[in-house]
Amino acid sequence: MTPLPTDQPRTVILGVAASDAHAVANQLICRLLRAHGFHVVNLGVCTPLHEFADALDAEPAAEAILIGSVNGHAYADLRDLPELRRQGRLDRPVVLGGNLSVGAHKRSADLDRLTALGVDHIVTGLSELLPLLDTLHAARQPAPQHG
Amino acid sequence: MAEFPGLEVSAAVAARLPDWDDIVAYLRNRPGDTVPDVLRAADRSGVPAIQPRCGVGGHAEMLALLRELALSAPSVLSVTIDSYTRLRQFDVAARVLAEEPARLNGYPLVAHGWQRGRELADAVPVPLEVRHGSPDGRDLFATALAAGITSFEGGGIGYNLPYCKDVPLDVSLRSWQQVDAACGALADAGVLVDRELFGTLTAVLVPPSISLAVTLLEAVAAAREGVRCISISYPQGGEIHQDVAALRAVRTLAARYLDPRVEVFPVLHQFMGAFPADPAWASGLILHGALTARLGGASKVVNKTEQEARGLPDADANGKGIRLTAVGASSMFDFVELDADRVAEELHWIEEEVAELVEPVLAEEDLLAAIGAAFRTGRLDVPFSASVHARNQVIPRRDPGGAIRYADHSALPFSGATRRRHAALLAGSAPAPRPGPGEITAVIRDISYFADRTPARTP
């Protein structure tokens, strides 16, 4: 696959985890990304993981899957990630941000088990997001061939 | 099977209800004050009626809760409905009720049945209102009527966009149209139903003109179906001049746009956003809301509790919230006088903005279709809703005084004068309102305006 022409907007898929109805950060991040020229497919609140996979099938040019979770149930909501990846789906960097487990103090064990599920990047501050997307873009490998 | 005029009730629910004529006869002869009686008395006295939210799963527990709260002398009590019933999952509600009623976040009225509802209504000396959040509340409404409850919250916009991701507005508006038509039939039969419209919406920095435009459109639609008593709720934003002006605007807008046969009552919802965790700050905010309600001429105020930041309050905290609200709405604070010019200025602009939002919609032939179309194109919008049927592109911010302004009005059809005013009022808010990490931090800070008022040392 040839790299995307530079005048094409970069596409990302954005949404909030399945059990989470918090719209505020989702909509503000969507607005931020659009203001920086991204084409954002925003799936909104309460989005099951398989709908992220469906969205990627529909928008194969997407560079990353950005999932927000602020209700502390990220692990439960992302449980199906290994299975989807085994099926060859969601083969883009999965970036997770928000408030990732119940309780005020995050333990590295909470983050480790999310990484073990296959989450590629965990963003802990808003200012990290755009630089991370630029890094991913620069390092972008040709997408794996299917079939 | 019971047949209701104008109201389609599902067969399973209708089969369990009394006949319409029996319901009407029961409602006409029910002793005691109704919610409209309470609201009229509040308007006469200048002291707002007070109502807590309350709902637990078990019937005995709900009876006990209502009786305990009644000791704090509220004017109206609530039957707050659980999430399964709101989504019409009556079987799930019944199963959870049988297995573990404490797991329900409200009272499953349909699962309990109208007979138990009458026991609730008869257990306390004040009228009840059903509060829920259903995009389609028809079965619940029929059950509430049979239970003797004639105050019912909700509307086709306010009970859809903040609560649902993917229910088309046309679906919710048409189901609420049927509820309103049944209220019209009841009014003709001499039974006045109080229909409260949920102007609080997402409870996140809702600009007054959006809240008032939404409830006004719902009110016009309700009045066309024959509804004769409408409570219009508005969420306390926290800047008292703006809030008092918004409450007064409920009455001036009703006089301008509604059939004069409709009685309209402004209701203040004490701050519905992120609440301070510290009980002292939380109590201060409750008192502030009560005073706002009185100064704004609200007919009713729905109280919060000092446990708000933690989740559902216990009965003790809720009783305290009722009593604290009564103090704040009493003559104790009569010495407080607001700058009348500042309130008048806010009122003028709120009326102007609401006119700019609603008049194009009201000019259309099919009001309900016009509302759906306006939300699709962004000529109406709600900030931060969960729904895919609204644009969700309006960005509100607080100005340096704490009032809620439009940082980005997106496609709302505001005049040049309105836009310039909001831009000027926000000019002092740093950082400049434009998309970026700084803007996100600033909006979140505005949302946490009261929640942040917490001492450094918390238990």
- pLDDT tens-digit readout, B330-350: 999 999 999 999 999 999 999
Partners of A39 in beta bridges: A11
Domains recognised in chain A with CATH numbers: 25-37+47-105+114-138 (3.40.50.280)
- Cα(B432)–Cα(B395) distance, integer angstroms: 13
Residue B410 and residue B309 share a domain: no
Residue B459, domain member (yes or no)? no
User: Residue B434 pLDDT > 90, yes or no?
Assistant: no
Instruction: State the pLDDT at residue A142.
Output: 59
Q: Is the peptide bond before B431 cis (omega within 30 degrees of 0)?
A: yes
Total domains in chain B come to: 2
Q: What is the ipTM of this complex?
A: 0.80
Express each pLDDT in B126-138 by its tens digit: 999 999 999 999 9
User: Residue A2 pLDDT > 50, yes or no?
Assistant: no
Q: Which of B165, B434, B441 sits opposite A45 (nearest CB)?
A: B165
Instruction: State the pLDDT at residue B3.
Output: 85
CATH code, domain carrying B208: 3.20.20.240
Residue B108 and residue B29 share a domain: yes
Confidence of residue B215 (pLDDT cuts 50, 70, 90): very high
Burial B135-150 (b: 16+ CB within 10 A, else e): bbbbbbbbbbbbbbbb
The residue to which tokens 């509600």 are assigned: B93
Confidence of residue B433 (pLDDT cuts 50, 70, 90): low
- State how far residue B53 is from chain A, nearest Cα, in angstroms: 22
**Which amino acid, residue B262?**
V
Cβ–Cβ of B435/A21 closer than 8 Å? no
Q: Of B53, B88, B131, B153, which residue is the catalytic one?
A: B153
Residue B288 and residue B363 share a domain: no
Tell me the HSE value of B274 on the side-chain side, using a 13 A CA sphere.
16
- Cα(B195)–Cα(B151) distance, integer angstroms: 6
- Cα(B305)–Cα(B325) distance, integer angstroms: 10
> A139 burial class (0-12, 13-18, 19+ CB within 10 angstroms)?
exposed
Partners of B151 in beta bridges: B194
Measured between beta carbons, which residues in chain B are less than 8 angstroms from residue A29?
440
Instruction: State the pLDDT at residue A60.
Output: 96
* Token pair belonging to A77: 């909501």
SS (H, E, C) A2-65: CCCCCCCCCEEEEEECCCCCCCHHHHHHHHHHHHCCCEEEECCCCCCHHHHHHHHHHCCCCCEE
CB contacts < 8 A (A, B)? 50
Residue B362 and residue B318 share a domain: no
Residue B259 and residue B155 share a domain: yes
User: Residue A125 pLDDT > 70, yes or no?
Assistant: yes
- State how far residue A86 is from chain B, nearest Cα, in angstroms: 30
- Strand pairing of B404-408 and B128-131? unpaired
Partners of A66 in beta bridges: A14, A95
Cβ–Cβ of B440/A32 closer than 8 Å? yes
- Cα(B27)–Cα(B34) distance, integer angstroms: 10
- Is the dihedral angle over the CA atoms B356, B361, B362, B368 positive or is it negative? negative
Instruction: State the pLDDT at residue B437.
Output: 74
Residue B340, domain member (yes or no)? no
Calculate the dihedral angle through the C-alpha atoms of B359, B364, B368, B372, rounding to the nearest 10 degrees: -80
Residue B312 and residue B404 share a domain: no
- Cα(B211)–Cα(B219) distance, integer angstroms: 12
Residue B339, domain member (yes or no)? no
CB B321 within 8 A of CB B303: yes
Residue B31 and residue B173 share a domain: yes
- State how far residue B312 is from chain A, nearest Cα, in angstroms: 16
Residue B453, domain member (yes or no)? no
B100 carries an active-site annotation: no
CB B194 within 8 A of CB B36: yes
Confidence of residue A126 (pLDDT cuts 50, 70, 90): confident
B86 carries an active-site annotation: yes
User: Residue A105 pLDDT > 80, yes or no?
Assistant: no
Express each pLDDT in B271-309 by its tens digit: 999 999 999 999 999 999 999 999 999 999 999 999 998
Express each pLDDT in B236-254 by its tens digit: 999 999 999 999 999 999 9
Mean pLDDT, rounded, of chain B: 95
> How large is the average pLDDT for residues B24-34?
96
Residue B187 and residue B47 share a domain: yes
Confidence of residue A146 (pLDDT cuts 50, 70, 90): low
Residue B437 touches partner A, C-beta closer than 8 Å: yes
Residue B93 and residue B190 share a domain: yes
Question: Within 10 Å of residue B95's Cβ, how many Cβ atoms?
Answer: 13
Residue B293 and residue B441 share a domain: no
Instruction: State the pLDDT at residue B456.
Output: 56
Instruction: State the pLDDT at residue A73.
Output: 86
Residue B410 and residue B275 share a domain: no
> How large is the average pLDDT for residues A13-17?
97
Residue B3, domain member (yes or no)? no
Residue B47, domain member (yes or no)? yes
Cβ–Cβ of B439/A127 closer than 8 Å? no
Measure the CA angle with vertex B42, ends B38 and B45; round to 5°: 140
Instruction: State the pLDDT at residue B77.
Output: 98
Residue B124, domain member (yes or no)? yes
Residue B62, domain member (yes or no)? yes
Query: What's the gap between Cα B390 and its chain centre?
Result: 19
Q: Which of A28-32, B214-218, B301-305, B341-345 has the lowest mean pLDDT?
A: A28-32
Backbone φ and ψ for B396, nearest 5 degrees, come out as: -90, 150
Residue B368 and residue B253 share a domain: no
Owning domain of residue B192: 11-333
> How large is the average pLDDT for residues A68-96?
94
Residue B165 touches partner A, C-beta closer than 8 Å: yes
